[in-house]
Amino acid sequence: MDIREFSSLLAVYGGRLDKWPHTHRLPAMRLLERSADALVLLEQARALDADLRAQETATSPDRLRAMEDDILARLELEEEQAPRPELHEPVPPQPQARAKPAARRRGQAALWAGLRPGRAAPGPSGHSGARFVVGSMTGFGLSMVLLAGVGLWIGTHLGHISTYSQQQVLAYYSIDLWLR
């Protein structure tokens, strides 16, 4: 540690080495052993420390005792004045109110309104474009599902249809033969 670093630490921590950071105490003591300038700086710092530690006028014991009593009296007053939790009779649980039919119908109408293309109610801001698109796409999707269902039905029953057609052809041929 050099004299400059020692002076910087004195400026922060004062002249009591026991209040310095641990790592700086021993180097400071070694510097003091060999440097008269460091000793002078230390004495100046300690003089200022003594000024700063000058004791304030203590409060009289009677006044302190009176303040203790005041504090405890205020505690008691606060606890007496603290609101006590009121006891209520238990309220029986109310059955949950069911949604009114009109409200339910309105809700359902709103639900379906969004699904019908071209018939979406305008929103609060008056924009119905997005609702129309969603409704149209939903309708288209449902149509595709319906067509797929019809196709599936035809496919599963195609055998019967073709058999029926073949039977008809045979029936006509038989009739034709009979007529001949």
Partner 1 sequence: MGADGGMRPSAFVRAGHGGLVMRDNSGAAPSSPTERAEGIDEALMRLVANGDRQAFRQLIQRHLDRIIILARRIVGPAESEDIAQEVFLKIWRQRQQHGTEVLHFKTWLYRVAVNQCLDWKRRALPGGTEEMPDIEDPGASPFVEVQNLERAELVKGAIAQLSQRQRIAITLYYQEDLQASEVAEIMQCELNAVESLLKRGRQKLRENLEKDAFL
Residue 54 within binding range of partner 1, rule CB under 8 A: yes
Structure tokens at 81: 């004045």
Question: CA 148 → CA 137, 139, 143, 144, 160, distances in Å?
Answer: 16, 14, 8, 6, 19
Residue 19 within binding range of partner 1, rule CB under 8 A: yes
Residue placing its CB nearer to partner 1 in the complex, 37 or 175? 37
Binding mask 107-146 for partner 1 (x = CB under 8 A): ----------------------------------------
Residue 43 within binding range of partner 1, rule CB under 8 A: no
Using only the alpha carbons of the chain, give its radius of gyration.
50
Nearest to 16 by CA among 47, 55, 58, 61: 47
One residue of 12, 87, 111, 179 binding partner 1 per CB under 8 A: 12
Residue 11 within binding range of partner 1, rule CB under 8 A: yes
Q: What angle do helix axes 22-34 and 36-52 make, rounded to 10 degrees?
A: 130
The three-class DSSP label of residue 126 is coil
Chain centre to alpha carbon of residue 14? 49
Question: How many Cβ atoms from other residues are within 10 Å of residue 97's Cβ?
Answer: 6
Q: How far is the CB of 21 from partner 1 (least distance, A)?
A: 8
Q: How far is the CB of 24 from partner 1 (least distance, A)?
A: 12
Write the CB contacts of 27 (distance below 8 Å, at least 6 apart in sequence): 1
Residue placing its CB nearer to partner 1 in the complex, 72 or 121? 72
Residue 13 within binding range of partner 1, rule CB under 8 A: yes
Q: How far is the CB of 86 from partner 1 (least distance, A)?
A: 22
One residue of 56, 62, 80, 176 binding partner 1 per CB under 8 A: 56
Binding residues vs partner 1 (CB under 8 A): 11-14, 19, 48-49, 51-54, 56, 58-59, 63-64, 67-68, 70-72, 74-75, 78
